[in-house]
A = this chain, B = another copy of it.
Amino acid sequence: MAKSPQKKSSAPASGNAVTADLVAVLVAVTDGTPKIVTIAGGSALPSGPFEFTHRSLQTALRAWVEAQTGHPLGYVEQLYTFADRGRSGDAKSPHSVSISYLGLTREDRVGEGFEAHWSGWYDYFPWEDHRAGAPSSLAKIIAPKLKAWAKAAPSPTLQRERWQRCAITFGLEDRDWNEELVLQRYELLWEASLIPEANHSRGREASVVPGKPMTADHRRILATGIARLRAKIKYRPVVFELMPAEFTLLQLQRSVEALAGRLVHKQNFRRLIEQQELVEETGAMAADTVGRPAKLFRFRHAVLAERAVAGTKLPLSRT
């Protein structure tokens, strides 16, 4: 640490200028479908430049999201910062830094008349929805292609290691599936050249996996967001940001299941929600429903003060 500029003040804005963009993964859940805001016909995540007028990164994000959708974001959280070599491939063009954020809203809070629209997130990651069991494309398409990729490794040992990695990451061969490994699965598919974005403009479109592609690394950012959210709902009461003011416990459960991509044991779910006092009854009952009517609940905002910091748990069963 001898020579280089260690203190910020010693090298102000010299040769290391870059451009900074904010990229947003804006999530909502509408009757059992997790959705994200997309632009350009669903091929990109909304993004905007980080400009001088913004006081902080989060301020910047909130500002342009609210300006463009007409409604405020609830929970906002930074995801990850990516750096790309100059876009045109020109070595002299500046670096670009993309700072990605996860934001939670509700679909009905976003205005009409914008280029943006909602897309189901499983359109981009069909292999991530295990609510009706492992998706058929997993066994039919993905697993065989991964197996072929594993077999293509130079040595038998490496072949075994590759396949083991695939099996663990995707929950193949009777292993249990871990819903949080969204990013690892995406990167594994990328490594196996099964993601169209990875094929560096060579025309081998045939050997890819189902799922809508996106511009640049936007699908990777989305994977990061899904993974983060799936992890977070287990210990923080963030699902409620995605719920309407009043809801039944089943609706809440369906939202959690939609995000997690897997089913939950109903009675245990209710037990956990209630014993943690996350919700309170409104007194009203749900209307327009088949079966026995359910009580309506609302989120107890008080818990944010009581336990802003402590934990919350959601049960995600394994079967």
Known: A6-B47, A48-B6, A83-B50. A18 touches B15 (CB 8 A): no
Which of A85-93, A133-141, A147-155, A271-279 touches B?
Answer: A85-93
Q: Is the CB of A11 within 8 A of B49?
A: yes
- Asked if A20 and B97 make an inter-chain contact with CB atoms under 8 angstroms apart, the answer reads yes
Cα distance A305–B167 in the bound complex, in angstroms: 12
A250 at the interface (CB under 8 A from B): no
Please list the residues of chain A having a beta carbon within 8 angstroms of any beta carbon in chain B. 1-2, 4-9, 11-21, 37, 39-40, 44, 46-52, 54-57, 64, 67-69, 78, 80-83, 85, 87-88, 91-97, 99, 113-116, 161, 164-165, 168-169, 178, 181, 184, 215-216, 305-310
Q: Is the CB of A94 within 8 A of B181?
A: no
Within the assembled complex, what's the spacing in Å between the Cα atoms of A20 and B82? 12
A79 CB to nearest chain B CB (Å): 10
* Stoichiometry (number of copies): 2
Across the two chains, which residue of chain B brings its CB closest to A55? Answer: B85
A7 cross-chain contacts in B, Cβ below 8 A: 39-40, 44, 47, 215
Asked if A46 meets B11 with Cβ closer than 8 Å, knowing A17-B17, A52-B91, A165-B305, the reply is no
Contact A2 B114 (CB under 8 A): yes
Question: Which of B1, B13, B55 lies in contact with A93, CB distance below 8 A?
Answer: B13
Given A69-B1, A99-B81, the answer on whether A87 and B305 have CB atoms closer than 8 Å is no
The answer for the CA separation of A168 and B309 in the assembled complex, in Å, is 8
| Chain B neighbourhood of A19, CB < 8 A | 12-14, 16-18
